[in-house]
Amino acid sequence: MNWYKGGSWMVLLVAMFGVAACGGDAADTANEAVAQTTDAVDAVADMADDAVDAVADAMQELPEGVTMAMVEEGEAIYGGAGICMTCHAPDGSGVPNLGADLTDDEWTHSDGGYEEIVVSIMEGVTADASTSGVPMPAKGGTSITDDQVRAVAAYVWTLSK
């Protein structure tokens, strides 16, 4: 028998004696610890669920493929390179006999869905189709890129919400 094995038996015996001596208390304490740990794990799981829900809600508010960064970029294009504000007013409420109100939820040239707004801006509105008789040139007559059109459409989409 080597010394190491003998030592292990001693440790085991002492441990068993210890449990036997204070058995009830130790078991209660252990059960309590397990219960508290379970509660804590449940609480963390609830918090994680809430966080996932919040992210899902935030994402549901924007159409598919649209990000907040696009909306912000679109706002700058609306008053900048896209010159949309010259015909639709700085706040998007429209100019009588010129550009339509983009803040109400009434759409003349589409159903107001994001992809349809993209098409309206991409193609513009012919004089015949325009209720004011004034045409909207494609991309407002500017040379903004297709990505910029998608961004400004994202901003326009939020105006009516």
Per DSSP, the three-state class of 69 is helix
Binders in 14-43 for ligand HEC, by CB under 6 A: none
Tell me how far the alpha carbon of residue 69 is from its chain's centroid.
11
Q: Per rule CB under 6 A, is residue 100 in the interface with ligand HEC?
A: yes
Rounded Cα distance between 34 and 25, Å, is: 14
User: In the numeric block, which tokens belong to residue 110?
Assistant: 């589409």
Binders in 66-85 for ligand HEC, by CB under 6 A: 82-84
Binding residue (CB under 6 A) for ligand HEC from 70, 71, 109, 150: 109
Choose the binding region for ligand HEC from 4-12, 19-27, 36-44, 94-102 (rule: CB under 6 A).
94-102
Of residues 93 and 132, the one with the C-beta less far from ligand HEC: 132
Q: Per rule CB under 6 A, is residue 117 in the interface with ligand HEC?
A: yes
Of residues 71 and 152, the one with the C-beta less far from ligand HEC: 152
- Is residue 94 within 8 A of residue 128, CB to CB? The reply is no
Rounded Cα distance between 120 and 146, Å, is: 12
* Least Cβ distance, residue 109 to ligand HEC (angstroms): 3
Distant-in-sequence, close-in-space partners of 21: CB < 8 Å, separation ≥ 6: none
Q: Cβ atoms within 10 A of the Cβ of 71, count?
A: 19
Q: By the criterion CB under 6 A, which residues form the site for ligand HEC? A: 82-84, 86-88, 98-100, 102, 107-110, 117, 120-121, 125, 130-132, 134, 136, 139-141, 152, 156
